[in-house]
Structure 1
Amino acid sequence: MPEIRHIVFDIGRVLIHYDPNLPFSRVIPDEAKREWFFANVCTSDWNLEQDRGRSWEEAEALLIAQHPDEEENIRAFRRFWHEMVPHAYDGSVEIMLGLIEAGRDVTMLTNFATDTFAEAQARFPFLTRPRGVTVSGEVKLIKPDRAIYDLHAESFGLDPAGSLFIDDSPKNVEGAKAAGWQAVLFTDPDTLRRDLGRAGVWPVAARN
């Protein structure tokens, strides 16, 4: 395989934890009702459109028109979003910062709504450390569509064949491979270290 010269991190569930159940265990205490709500109202597909650039106002209005009895619960999704991202994954952050400090070229590519990404970056300053980031909500493209990988590579001058992408979603990993990148599935920091070792970029060492 070509030498890895660029390392690209996903963010949610790779560098920071994300779980909508954290606030909604309080908002909708009944587990069956909560499962119904996420399966039928604030679904993953609905949330993904905010990652694609749809405003929260539009998103809420759409669902409230369909489920007027759920208005408060619908609005709770954005209102309590900060509780869904309670902490960073210290091991993953340590790896990313170690790569940066060793002189590796590190960027980020994430499906994230524009406003919540700004909030996350303010709360987790390490998200400002990589050379740059492509945020889906800003560019109106989402993983695993090939266009966002191509845009990221063009924007940051990456050679896809020499780029290693790290994501927790199998379909996003496959999307990167389809775009000509190398990619690994994130499960935990120890596995990531092994994957980086096989790629020849871990343990880190200062580069000339």
Structure 2
Amino acid sequence: MDSSRADLDSLYPFLSGAAGDLDAVLDEVAQSTKDKAREISAVREEVRRRDGDRLRACATAMAERFATGGRLLSFGNGGSSTDAQDLASLFLHPGTGARPLPAIGLTSDIAVVTALSNDIGFDVVFARQIAAFGTAGDIAVGLSTSGNSPNLVAAFDEAAARGLLTVGIAGGEGGRMAESKSVDFLFVVPSPSVHRIQEAQTTLYHALWELTLRALRD
């Protein structure tokens, strides 16, 4: 068996043993889906149990910043960059009936990202933008599945030095973000699976948005 087939079998074992039996394949797919749904539900519940109070405290701190004119700056790499842009859009364009709040996704301007990466280095791609845009009273939110991204650690250091409220959303055991003294609030999704981490992180930042809006109304 070649390595690509072995990799496929490890990810989707239900596609190998019963390839000629459609009902068996469908049963395996259904069971796999149920198992993943139970897994992500358990991870989300653990995050809620462990971090519920801290989420409310973080939302209150964010609401205080927004109430005095602060903005949210969000950032991440790869799939986390998409989540960072979604987070910024959630605050900026929340939909009918919800209060829009100022937010900027630092990966949205590809010209800026590529210029900084090419001319200076990828490790400073977020820190330089925070240095340019961030002011005391703003909020910096960085997302990473591992917590080890050097450019996030550098961004948090820059943000903390400038007086921004810093919020980290990581996975696993938190990586280098858990060791940083520059992160005011760190939320770690306790899972070894990148897929479950990203799914739970999406739930986490939506909850943070809702709690922030509630704090602003109170």
Same structural fold, with TM-score higher than 0.5 when normalized by the shorter chain: no
Higher helix share: 2
Q: TM-score range by the shorter chain?
A: 0.3 to 0.5
TM-score between the two structures when normalised by the length of structure 2: 0.33
| Structure with max Cα Rg | 2
TM-score between the two structures when normalised by the length of structure 1: 0.34
Higher relative contact order (CA 8 A, sep 6+): 1
